[in-house]
């Protein structure tokens, strides 16, 4: 994976992101269209990691690469367009939003994920959310699903950036950790069943109760909260 410079949008190789570098397990799984990855604390042996809930430790790339499921579709039916999916991966939520009749755009720093999405004809940019994003302050819904509130290991900074992008009448929808009080930042690696291992990258895990602390400095306030299929979601809205 590469990142994009936040100001110029040019490719950078000095910033580490989810699953990138090293043996590139995430890219291998994307190429196969399937695979189970483990999110682990950096510094441990391959396969060792944090005792966090299965939905956040074991990552099913086949689900990311496949079509949106019923829980995903419900998220979109509670949303307003246009939809911006941050860390969109192969683009399942972008595809589903378009199918629901909403304009949508995906952002991802993984060239491999973006290539898969573009091969499917989806509107996805190879870009960091901290780079130039079209329609600033005009997105009806900004999505941070699949643990993507952890991107960069700085939930407060990420939510502040999302607040700059969402419309005053819109919302940031966050899928949170299953443990409501969890709030931690750590150096992580991704490993796969073949023992391939990424370079370390900064990551965070934030539960629904802890989310408000990160949202407040961004001018966002928790609204609706719901649980479906073992997944927890919180709608953050611009504070009045």
pLDDT, tens digit, 9 for 90 and up, residues 16-30 = 778 788 889 999 999
pLDDT at 15: 52
Residue 222 sits in a domain whose CATH number is 3.40.50.150
Q: How far is CA 191 from CA 39, 41, 184, 211, in A?
A: 7, 10, 20, 27
Give the chain's domain count: 1
Contact (Cβ atoms closer than 8 angstroms) between residue 173 and residue 145: yes
Bond prior to 82 in cis (omega within 30° of 0): yes
pLDDT at 18: 81
pLDDT at 4: 35
Q: What parts of the chain have a pLDDT lower than 50?
A: 1-14, 45-56
> Is this model's pTM higher than 0.75 or not?
yes
Q: Which domain covers residue 206, as residue numbers? A: 3-238
Please name which of 16, 10, 149, 9 lies closest in space to residue 1, comparing C-alpha atoms: 16
H or E segment and range at residue 80: none
């Amino acid at each position: 994976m590469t990142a994009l410079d936040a100001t110029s949008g040019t490719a950078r190789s000095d910033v580490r992101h989810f699953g990138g570098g090293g043996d590139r397990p995430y890219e291998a799984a994307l190429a196969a269209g399937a695979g189970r990855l483990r999110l682990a604390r950096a510094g441990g042996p391959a396969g060792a990691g944090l005792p966090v809930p299965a939905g956040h430790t074991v990552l099913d790339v086949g689900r990311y690469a496949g079509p949106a499921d019923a829980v995903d579709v419900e998220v979109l039916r509670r949303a307003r367009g246009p939809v911006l999916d941050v860390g969109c991966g192969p683009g399942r939520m972008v595809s589903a939003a378009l199918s629901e009749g909403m304009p949508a755009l995906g952002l991802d720093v993984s060239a491999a994920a973006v290539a898969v999405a573009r091969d499917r004809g989806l509107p996805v940019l190879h870009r960091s959310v901290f780079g130039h994003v079209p329609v600033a302050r005009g997105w009806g819904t900004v999505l941070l699903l699949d643990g993507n509130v952890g991107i960069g290991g700085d939930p407060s900074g990420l939510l502040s950036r999302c607040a700059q992008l969402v419309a005053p009448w819109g919302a940031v929808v966050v899928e949170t950790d299953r443990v409501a009080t969890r709030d931690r930042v750590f150096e992580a690696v991704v490993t796969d069943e073949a023992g391939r291992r990424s370079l370390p990258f900064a990551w965070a895990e934030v539960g629904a109760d802890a989310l408000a602390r990160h949202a407040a400095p961004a001018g966002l306030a928790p609204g609706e909260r719901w649980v479906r299929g073992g997944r927890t979601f919180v709608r953050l809205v611009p504070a009045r």
